[in-house]
Structure 1
């Protein structure tokens, strides 16, 4: 079963929601706790003030009238005391005996029917207060024992409303709540937009990667962004371009290898056939000569001449095969060669052979014609092409060799007078062991590898070679790329 994939956007939103919810709850709880503590402090301070005011008033009353610690006197002055404390504290006040009996109150209804927890604590000699919330208001009942010279003479109890304080606290809490809610809502919205801003390009990148994994290398990401995701998209496009380029190169190399494999198979099939023919002929004549000996002088002379001719042909074939094998080896130590001067030198050297065949060589080679390669291989290329022109050109003719430059390439043209060659035959002449005139090739000792070797050299130099024939002229054209400056032969 395929695992369920959770999107980054969902993870972002859930994470942000949890963070904001917890933060909001903590903030709201903290503010509520602080306000509650502050309210309790305010109430406590206010009640302490009430106690100080009441205690001072009772103490002064006892001192002014020179009474001792008598709870009876406390009851006698209760009414006057309650009235004065009511005006002094702006709070409802009541006086109780030491056993909790109500003596007098500024408003009895305030104290009757209410909780008596604070009163019971005061009877036990403690100061206490209780807060009650009724009808949306808050009031405090505060009771403490009145002690004169260490003797408890009665109890004072206050009832004071604090609804204004709690209303103000409620407004503060509401304001904080809504402000915090608005802030967190805005932050959550921003987080949502940020998650979309991040997750949508990543979703597109994931979809594009999925297409690439399926073999679609035409997919591209279009993101006009200047951040890391924009750079990621650009890098992804560059990666796909390079991958496509490498795959194209691999496919071309594969096709080239397949072509080379077929060529090699074809080549060795020809080699087998071409080597088998002279060897069979030599062996046949040798066996007949062995059987007949010198009893037939004419046949003996004919057979020996045939053995010698075929042996020479076989020797030339083996030498050419060795040269072909060497040309198909690795190219090493390439450099920048001045091809014009090299071509003129080869033409001078080949002019003696041309004279033997009653032919002349005319060369027009400009200077500063630089190509990249190996001098020996380039020299071999020129020799093979000129040698073919000498062997297969008409007697008493001139071999024309010209050079020119065109669109970053150097053109070498080798032309000789000859009978016309069909277009089908022209293409086959670059295959091994193929010649235009089999009889003439046998007389010249050619095995049909010159053009094949020339094409191998040209291919290694990333150039091209072609042949045209017409109007009594056969023309071989070689195109080689011009070498870049700064790389001299070493």
Structure 2
């Protein structure tokens, strides 16, 4: 796996190398272009000055044969031009034959490209380089009165100019190397300044992955990497706290499980004792029937006492099991549809007792609560109405909205109920005490109903009038968008 520092250095080196080559090439090209412009400018001045000298010489002497005069004046012109321009001068015929030169060696054994172009009527020059010198050969045709009479050729030394150019290029090269070396060194230091903390962060994260939560990072810096290290430390600290909480909850859950097991073992034992005693006496009484009156009375008293103790024990268990639902568990519940489903499912039960059930329900009715407990509420109320209604009777159920609250009414024909007993009916094991109460009924139904209604912050009332018992339940309603109780 390539380290990020290696990638940084390789990238910086490549950028610097390319930049160095491009810059060096651009500087060279600029300097050589400037030199060519300077050479061209000096040669143009040289041509202008020499042309003025030749025209003046021809004007003063008024020769008719200009070409002949040009040949006769070759030595004088070359000497004067050499003195006037500081350049070695050579005089040629129109055919390129050398007539005279101040330094003939400068024109022999060298390139003749400029001379050939001058013979063709053009002005031209050529530059010759060696390791220490740079010289220019410059040629142009001399034209008098529209007639080409000869060729002037000059040899000029530009070694100082190109020597200066070489020194400038060397200086630029070394300065560029120095700059780029310093930049590369700075980039190297910067890359280490960035990558070393990242390497440490990688190692620390590996430690955390392997289960070591004691690792911490300490960077004395206030930039993004410093903040990253602080966030990493905070994250590990928070993770450590969460793990501690989980471990504490795990231990607590284990303890609760043990307590629950002990609790159910005790409950099983406590419930088993009175039931065993009750069953034992019941079997003996059935076997002896009523032959031993004393034993019968003793057995019945024992059964009653144990039944009461069992009853109280069950009541205590129910009280322990009751708890108010947390607010975050309450949600919009389609109570109308739930009640309709319960009514349909309870129809079979009513047919068993040759009774019937009818309902008028707003199926869009919503309440704030728990669907499972509301279903239990409706089942208990309808079941209670079936058990305590008169034979061959009709039970009616209605659900609607009233003043922003959900109103549920369960009505059934029944025997009269004393007014002073109405409030007692919501206490466990307090049945209505009449009608066709089902065998084996424990009387817990209305107690469970009251508990569910209280947990939902509602109200419940039981009334008896005109031979009918009615249970009315009010719960917090919801609007169409489920935004809470409508007041």
Fold match by TM threshold 0.5: yes
Tell me how far apart the structure 1 counterparts of residues 88 and 22 of structure 2 sit (CA, whole Å). 39
2:292 equivalent in structure 1: 296
The answer to whether residue 149 in structure 2 is matched with residue 153 in structure 1 is yes
1:85 equivalenced with 2:77 (yes/no): no
Q: How does 1:126-165 map to 2 (within 5 A)?
A: 126-165=122-161
Q: Secondary structure, in 3 states, of the residue corresponding to 2:156?
A: strand
- Cα deviation for residue 134 of structure 1 reads 2.3
Deviation at 1:259, TM superposition (A): 2.1
Matched, 1:64 2:60: yes
* Separation of aligned partners in 1, 2:131 and 2:157: 12
Deviations 1:401-438 (A, max 9, x none): xxxxxxxxxxxxxxxxxxxxxxxxxxxxxxxxxxxxxx
The structural deviation recorded for 1:116 is: 1.1
User: CA-to-partner distance for each residue in 1:363-410, whole Å, 9 max, x for gaps?
Assistant: xxxxxxxxxxxxxxxxxxxxxxxxxxxxxxxxxxxxxxxxxxxxxxxx
- The answer to whether 1:102 aligns with 2:83 is no
- Contact 1:278–1:310 under 8 Å retained in 2: yes
Alignment of 1:44-55 (within 5 A): 44-55=40-51
In structure 2, relative to structure 1, the CA distance for the partners of 1:64 and 1:266 (3 Å cut) is same
Matched with 1:305 is 301
Mind listing any 5+ residue stretches in structure 2 that lack a counterpart? Answer: 329-487
Counterparts in 2 of 1:68 and 1:21: CA distance versus 1, 3 Å:
farther
Instruction: Select 1:123's aligned residue among 119, 123, 143.
Output: 119
Distance 2:126 2:223 in 1: 63
Match of 2:209 among 213, 216, 222: 213
Q: Deviations over 1:184-207 (max 9, x none)?
A: 111110000000000000000011
Aligned equivalents of 1:245, 1:119: Cα separation in 2: 95
Alignment partner, residue 24 of structure 1? 20
- Which residue is 2:174 aligned to? 178
Name 2:429's counterpart in structure 1. none
Q: Distance in 2 between matches of 1:150 and 1:103?
A: 22
- What is the distance in 1 between the residues matched to 2:175 and 2:131? 27
Corresponding residue for 1:261? 257
- What whole-Å deviation, never above 9, does each CA across 1:156-200 have from its counterpart, x for those lacking one? 000000011011111111111111111111111000000000000
SS of the counterpart of 2:139?
strand
Structure 2 length as normaliser, TM-score? 0.65
SS at structure 1 position matched to 2:152? strand
* Cα displacement string for residues 256-314 of structure 1 (whole angstroms, at most 9, x for unaligned residues): 22222222222222222221211111011012112223321221121112112111211
Task: Report the Cα offset of residue 108 of structure 1.
Answer: 0.7
Q: Distance in 1 between matches of 2:34 and 2:68?
A: 40
SS of residue paired to 2:128:
strand
| Distance of 2:64 and 2:325 partners within structure 1 | 130
Per-residue deviation at 1:135?
A: 4.0
The structure-2 alpha-carbon separation of the partners of 1:282 and 1:68, relative to structure 1 and needing over 3 Å to count, comes to farther
Please list, as runs of the form range in 1=range in 2, the aligned pairs for 1:43-442 lying within 5 A after superposition. 43-68=39-64, 70-326=66-322
Q: CA deviation at 1:218?
A: 1.1
Runs of 4+ in structure 1 deviating by more than 3 angstroms, as ranges, are 329-333
- Residues 83-117 of structure 1 deviation map (CA, whole Å, 9 limit, x = unaligned): 11001000100000111111001111111111111
Q: Give secondary structure in 1 for the equivalent of 2:322.
A: helix
Change (3 A) 1:189 1:230: same
Any stretches of 5+ residues in structure 1 without a counterpart?
A: 334-490
Q: Which has the higher contact order (CA 8 A, sep 6+)?
A: 1
Distance 2:27 2:193 in 1: 34
**The residue matched to 1:132 in structure 2 has which SS?**
strand
SS at match of 1:226: coil
Give the 3-state SS of the residue equivalent to 2:94 in structure 1: coil
Local SS of the residue matching 2:154: strand
Q: TM-score, normalised by structure 1?
A: 0.65
Question: 1 CA distance for matches of 2:231 and 2:109?
Answer: 82
